[in-house]
Amino acid sequence: MTDPAAYLPILASGRWFAHLPPDFAQPLIEMAHLRQLNAGEVLFLRGDAPCGLYAVVRGAISISGTGGRANEARSALLTRLEPPHWFGEISVFDGSARTHDAHATEASTLLQVPHERLQAWLQAHPVHWHALALLLTDKLRTAFVAIEELALLPAPQRLARRLVMMAEGYGQWTAEGQSRRVLSISQEQLSLMLAISRQTTNQILKDLEQRHLVRVQRGEVEILDLAALRASCH
């Protein structure tokens, strides 16, 4: 498919886009064009100039960062974005450089609303900045939850909560009770996302398997009992 409008059903399954006023949603699609990325391909890197607003409609995008001295640099996987997530809105607001790296975790299709075109449209229709701000505040709430969990929860609870959040699409879907049974994520990716060792991640997942809450296979985690997994977070 080459027409961004063909992906409207996927976009409409997301809470933010589904609640957009039609006089913002329609121009957003009209301004967009499709981007195809191969697995591992860079979308943008920290320090890059603003390049627009994005929506994932196929595949997955990893948002990551690297810190520390060159010979001791460490990577952190912050999140994995799957359909119908929108992202890139921070640079839309402040016009500053990208704060993190974005790579295609697998072959992916994105909608890209170019930065300059979106800026010009918003300047002409300033009432819609509020709708865009809601996307930003939603991400901020999720970030605060992650910071709180890192400070307060032991690793087993943090891992279980992250699996639940991923299964529930980070609360982004419109359908009540919708969830994803199979999560395409490796143990290495989970350990980077939660800042815990690969060994600890493996031990926690084995415990969850023994309790018949998940099934771990190469590159994926299958949720067997979402309600029980959610209960184990407390």
Question: What pLDDT score was predicted for residue 230?
Answer: 92
Alpha-carbon span 17 to 25, nearest angstrom? 7
pLDDT band of residue 234 (cuts 50, 70, 90) is: confident
Alpha-carbon span 15 to 204, nearest angstrom? 32
Q: Is the pLDDT of residue 142 over 70?
A: yes
Residues listed for the chain:
234
> Do residues 110 and 34 lie in contact, with contact meaning Cβ atoms separated by under 8 Å?
yes
Q: Is the pLDDT of residue 161 over 80?
A: yes
Alpha-carbon span 218 to 186, nearest angstrom? 7
Helix and strand tally (H, E) in the chain? 10, 11
Nearest partner of 218 among 183, 180, 177, judged by Cα: 183
Average pLDDT, the chain: 92
The amino acid sitting at 22 is P
Percentage of the chain lying above the pLDDT 90 cut? 74
> Do residues 223 and 214 lie in contact, with contact meaning Cβ atoms separated by under 8 Å?
yes
The pLDDT tens digits for 84-122 are 999 999 999 999 999 999 999 999 999 999 999 999 999
Dihedral angle sign, alpha carbons of residues 16, 18, 21, 25: positive
Question: What pLDDT score was predicted for residue 68?
Answer: 63
